[in-house]
């Protein structure tokens, strides 16, 4: 696994050189743990304004946490909450993400990648506001925003998929 991570970092560096991009370090995000380091990388300033980074560099993660698509469904029965209200579903999804991370000893500051799935591309601005409220002042992890025709459960407007690197 360490080899694959080093290979991925090397591949990203190679792509930045081949593509003509020079990655600059964004603000370092201090983490706890011997040798553990998480940094977000950008080559411009607009990414922070929108609320994401182009890449995340993780040195010696203690363990990885992969969250499946998290939506506004309530925890016990899976019933979708706030049908028709994107802002409320987005907040509920991020509240659930935060709860899961905290149960595993982490926080939103441990997130290294986000993929957001929505059913209406016009929700981009509302999503960015909601995500920034959940993550605080930044720096922000890499984020991909995708529009899909339908999500897993009828009535869902958003699902947030997260990868986090947790220190030991």
How does pLDDT run along the chain (168 residues), one tens digit per residue?
333 434 443 333 333 332 333 333 444 443 545 677 888 887 778 777 877 777 878 887 688 999 999 999 998 889 999 999 999 999 999 999 999 999 999 999 999 999 999 999 999 999 999 999 999 988 899 999 999 999 999 999 999 999 999 987
pLDDT for res 46: 78
Q: Which CATH class is domain 63-166?
A: alpha beta
Tell if the pTM clears 0.85, that is, is over it: no
pLDDT for res 55: 81
C-alpha 33, offset from chain centre: 21
- CA-nearest of 72, 74, 111, 123 to 93 is 72
Rounded distance, CA 69 to CA 128, Å?
17
Our separate counts of H helices and E strands in the chain read 4, 7
Q: In the chain, where are the structural domains located?
A: 2-59, 63-166
pLDDT for res 141: 93
pLDDT for res 43: 78
């Amino acid at each position: 696994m360490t080899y694959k991570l080093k290979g991925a970092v090397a591949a990203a560096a190679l792509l930045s050189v081949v593509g003509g991009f020079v990655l600059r370090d964004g603000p370092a995000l201090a983490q706890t743990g011997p040798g553990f380091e998480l940094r977000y990388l950008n080559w411009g300033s607009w990414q922070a304004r929108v609320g994401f980074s182009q890449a995340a560099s993780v040195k010696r993660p203690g363990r990885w946490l992969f969250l499946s698509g998290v939506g506004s469904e309530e925890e016990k029965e899976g019933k979708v909450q706030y049908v028709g209200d994107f802002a409320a579903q987005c907040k509920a999804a991020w509240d659930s993400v935060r709860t899961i991370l905290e149960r595993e000893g982490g926080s939103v500051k441990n997130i290294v990648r986000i993929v957001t799935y929505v059913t209406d591309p016009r929700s981009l601005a509302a999503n960015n506001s909601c995500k920034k409220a959940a993550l605080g002042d930044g720096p922000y992890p890499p984020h991909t925003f995708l529009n899909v025709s339908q999500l897993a459960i009828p009535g869902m407007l958003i699902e947030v998929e997260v990868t986090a690197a947790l220190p030991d």
